[in-house]
Structure 1
Amino acid sequence: MTESTARDTPTSPPVMAVSAGARTEHAQGIFAALDLGTNNCRLLVAAPTATGFRVVDSFSRIVRLGEGLAQTGRLADSAMERAATALQACADKLMRRPVRRFEAVATEACRRAANGRAFLARIAAETGLHLRVISAREEAELAMESCAPLLEPGDRRALLFDIGGGSTEIAWIRVPCAPGAPPELIGYLSLPLGVVTLAERAGQDCFTERGFCEVVEEVAAHLAEFDRIHRIGQEIRAGGVRLMGTSGTVTTLAGVAMALPRYRRPLVDGKTLDCGAADLALGDLFALGREGLAQHPCVGPERVEFVLPGCAVYAAIRRVWPTPRITVADRGLREGMLTRMMRAERGPRRRAR
């Protein structure tokens, strides 16, 4: 469906039945999660397995919903049109594949924008997709949920970061001793500094050593305050703390550190890297400049503006919390939502038995 058609036909077949969770026999076990972020719109459709879930279908598109938001406080018309087109494509996919349960969330851009909820109301009317604006805390919890399977015996704590488009989320996590017990969120920090907001504010500056270091200093100052509250550096020195990163920035660093000829998720997701190798990859990316980044197979022209701002945030995290290794996660809110929905479905069945 084209943009004009979507606007002109608000009564087009809705996916309300999908949102409520179609209970048909052929849809048993199919779940879907949608995440509308500041930079990307992502959909994941999956079926549960004994050890997790199997991806049935997916969708990802850069929509730059937060473009200009830092200056105006509102979602721009062009940004809303791009997001609406992507969301209509998601709705079309869901119409072809009814699911048992579906959840859709919106994050920082819709949290901050004065017209964010009005935009989501329009999306609901046009597509039948009902997106819920989640808090920064829930965002951190969902990221923790998705990355929990990457924790290993011997981990006492985990420090998880997610460098998003409009914000950076930090989760400080207690890992339980009891096998099978879920991790606990001790504290979280949400900085209104993401790759889109920093790219718009810093512009060309992140491509210079001085501008890059200024962003590192700014982010590090915020992180140091969080460290003083939770004494994370002290825990790291005591041992048993796993540093985990989930974002395009850290997966790109992993792809470069591993010298991949093109990005491949199965090779990156769950990979534990020596932080020295990741730091060297950061230096390689910075040295490439704009043209080199656009041609790099792990970056490309669509992400060239956002890589170095994200690397500056990563460098600040490394400065405040130096660890020998980092676990890279190519997973996030959608995987966390799917895990929660599937666990909720299994619960009643166990109680019934």
Structure 2
Amino acid sequence: MAEMSPPDTIRRTGGKRGKSSGKVADFRYKRPSQSEKRAQDSRALPKSAVARGESPRRPPARDTVAQRQAYAALDLGTNNCRLLIARPSGENFTVIDAFSRVVRLGEDLAGSGRLSAAAMERALCALHVCAEKLRRRNVQLARSVATEACRRAVNGPEFIERVRSETGIALDIISAQEEARLAVLGCHVLLEQDHGPAVIFDIGGGSTELVLIEPGERVPRIIDWASVPWGVVSLTDTVGRAEGDDAAARLARYARMRSLVADSFAPFAARISDAAHAEGIRLLGTSGTVTTLASLHLELQQYDRRAVDGLIVPASAMRAINARLSAMAPGDRRKLPCIGADRADLVVAGCAILDSILDIWPADRLGVADRGIREGILRSLMAGTPAPARAAR
């Protein structure tokens, strides 16, 4: 398992959207007072709910501090809010709490350029749950990140400040490069053992990151990477929903998705074309798309992480599932196990993105990872990766 993060060889140059990436927020949570509990009930947690570095009122015995110390990683994406809390366990870690909720933060963002009031409210509800878990689990060090939806939205920074004010959680809008780096760090251990080049990809809600790597001593070396603004939410919203369409219209819609994604992938595809024809190329995906498709491949009646995480699937089998889902009526997709109403529309966009990845990186097999950014954050925190200084406020 990785003990250090892959080299971040291309530093972010900055931009008007988002603050410096790599920020690590050090929160020492204390149990809220009675007044704070009343404030939580009214959905307005005061800043005093997060202690500013002072020692706990009753510190644990010295020999139990390391055992009890907990770390947390929070990932607020375009479609989901996910939290992982863990304690070190040798070179690895043991998960002690987790949370995941579909919040659809990027809903309608493609058309408006803004986070909607309803979407922000859904996300805040989930983040209040996360804040309570962080306090309850005595988290000593946490890093909370926001990705494409907050990068793209004109009111993204405003929303980040509202989250800090109401929940005490300091979200960092990370760059696409940092998102890709963390995904690699979190899942690269699941790559098939070989000496050939590999591509690790993360199909998100608002963007897709692709990273070309080659083996390193402890962690892979990042050779090239790309991020395109197509995820399952942004691509679905741009092309439109398929409710009521006939089979021909659904296939035309899928072809449109494939065309948009292929155009965005073209520069990266040209840069990696030589590596794509090397012997022993490997492919690993981390996202709800690949884990859902893997569940269908296994014909699971309900999702089972133990069966999916680390699974190797023939690329041809994934292509066949993509073809089946893209032609299927939305109502029929909703009836499939492991898809349901939440993913019935979005999974088709994920299939289009995956097909386009297989076009430019024709590996025979696809590795599936039910891990990624959060695990990458935890490994960075536990390895003691230094954080850049926080900007003065």
Shared fold per TM-score greater than 0.5: yes
Letter of the aligned partner of 2:168 in structure 1? G
Answer whether contact 1:15 1:91 (CA < 8 A) is retained.
Answer: no
Structure 1: gaps spanning 5 or more residues? 347-353
Letter of the aligned partner of 1:219 in structure 2? V
d(CA) in 1 for partners of 2:79, 2:160: 16
SS of 1:341's partner is: helix
1:139 equivalenced with 2:179 (yes/no): yes
Q: Deviation above 6 Å: which 4+ runs of structure 1? A: 18-23
Deviation at 1:311, TM superposition (A): 0.6
Deviation at 1:38, TM superposition (A): 0.6
Letter of the aligned partner of 1:229 in structure 2? R
Q: What TM-score results when the alignment is normalised by the length of structure 2?
A: 0.80
Which residue of 24, 27, 50 corresponds with 1:15?
Answer: 50
Counterparts of residues 217-232 of structure 1 (less than 5 Å): 217-231=259-273
1:74 equivalenced with 2:111 (yes/no): no
d(CA) in 2 for partners of 1:340, 1:225: 30
Letter of the aligned partner of 1:218 in structure 2? L
Of stretches 153-162 and 122-131 in structure 1, the one that deviates more from structure 2 is 153-162
Which residue of 55, 60, 70 corresponds with 1:30?
Answer: 70
SS of 1:323's partner is: coil
Answer whether contact 1:189 1:226 (CA < 8 A) is retained.
Answer: yes
Counterparts of residues 157-168 of structure 1 (less than 5 Å): 157-168=197-208
Counterparts of residues 273-284 of structure 1 (less than 5 Å): 273-284=313-324
Q: Paired residue for 1:210?
A: 252
% identical equivalent positions = 42
Answer whether contact 1:19 1:102 (CA < 8 A) is retained.
Answer: no
Deviation at 1:24, TM superposition (A): 5.3
d(CA) in 2 for partners of 1:160, 1:294: 29
d(CA) in 1 for partners of 2:255, 2:54: 45
Deviation at 1:240, TM superposition (A): 2.6
Q: What TM-score results when the alignment is normalised by the length of structure 1?
A: 0.89
Answer whether contact 2:131 2:167 (CA < 8 A) is retained.
Answer: yes
Answer whether contact 1:142 1:332 (CA < 8 A) is retained.
Answer: yes
d(CA) in 2 for partners of 1:19, 1:325: 51
Q: 1:172 to 1:21 in 2, by over 3 A?
A: farther
Q: Paired residue for 1:193?
A: 230
SS of 1:162's partner is: strand
Of stretches 104-113 and 181-190 in structure 1, the one that deviates more from structure 2 is 181-190
d(CA) in 2 for partners of 1:103, 1:120: 14
Q: Which has the higher contact order (CA 8 A, sep 6+)?
A: 2
Structure 2: gaps spanning 5 or more residues? 1-35, 387-393
Answer whether contact 1:171 1:188 (CA < 8 A) is retained.
Answer: yes
Deviation at 1:95, TM superposition (A): 1.3
Q: 1:251 to 1:21 in 2, by over 3 A?
A: farther
Answer whether contact 1:159 1:243 (CA < 8 A) is retained.
Answer: yes
1:250 equivalenced with 2:290 (yes/no): yes
Q: Paired residue for 1:350?
A: none
Answer whether contact 1:20 1:102 (CA < 8 A) is retained.
Answer: no
Q: 1:19 to 1:171 in 2, by over 3 A?
A: farther
Aligned-residue Cα RMSD (Å) equals: 2.7
d(CA) in 1 for partners of 2:374, 2:360: 29
Counterparts of residues 1-353 of structure 1 (less than 5 Å): 9-11=44-46, 14-16=49-51, 28=66, 29-176=69-216, 178=217, 181-205=218-242, 208-231=250-273, 234-344=274-384
Letter of the aligned partner of 1:56 in structure 2? I
Answer whether contact 1:19 1:101 (CA < 8 A) is retained.
Answer: no
Judging by fraction of residues, say which structure has more helix: 1
SS of 1:204's partner is: coil
C-alpha distance after superposition, 1:178-217 (max 9, x if no partner): 4xx3212111111111111111121235970111012112
Number of equivalences: 341
C-alpha distance after superposition, 1:251-288 (max 9, x if no partner): 11111111112111111011111111112222332344
Deviation at 1:15, TM superposition (A): 3.1
d(CA) in 1 for partners of 2:56, 2:118: 32
SS of 1:238's partner is: coil
Letter of the aligned partner of 1:224 in structure 2? A
